Amino acid sequence: VAPTTPVCEVPSSAMTGTVVQMSCKETEGSPPSEYQWYKNGVALLEKTGTGSARAANITYTMNKKSGTLLFNTVTKNDTGEYFCEASNGIGLSQKCSVKRMQV
């Protein structure tokens, strides 16, 4: 079953240095969807603990299975427009509407 449009939870504002968790979920897809987050239209990299992720100054953890995007300490650089995409290899992937977070 192809995924439906996911529901995204993105806070509209956050204080610098706080923990922020965004979530993305859809329930129709079978097999279960994987989730990819985007910021300002660019796919976010999945942090794998390799040197390249640290070099890119990645301050978040993205879980493709659960759809969560977790910032341990947000900075002003994390301000932007976020959305996520659900896909399970069947039918078209589905995106939620873009939501802006101001830090």
Would you kindly state where each structural domain of the chain is located, as residue ranges? 5-99
State the Cα–Cα distance between residues 69 and 35, nearest whole angstrom.
Answer: 10
Q: Which 8-state DSSP code applies to residue 77?
A: G
Answer yes or no: is pLDDT of 2 > 80. Answer: yes
CB 23 within 8 A of CB 68: yes
Q: pLDDT grade, residue 45 (50/70/90)?
A: confident
CA 87 centroid distance within chain: 13
Tell me, what's the pLDDT at 59? 78
Average of per-residue pLDDT across 77-95: 96
pTM: 0.89
Answer yes or no: is pLDDT of 54 > 70. Answer: no
- Please give the share of the chain, as a percent, with pLDDT higher than 70: 89
Q: pLDDT grade, residue 56 (50/70/90)?
A: low
State the Cα–Cα distance between residues 89 and 95, nearest whole angstrom.
Answer: 14
Answer yes or no: is pLDDT of 64 > 80. Answer: yes
Pick the CATH number of 5-99 from 3.40.50.300, 3.30.565.10, 2.60.40.10, 3.90.226.10: 2.60.40.10
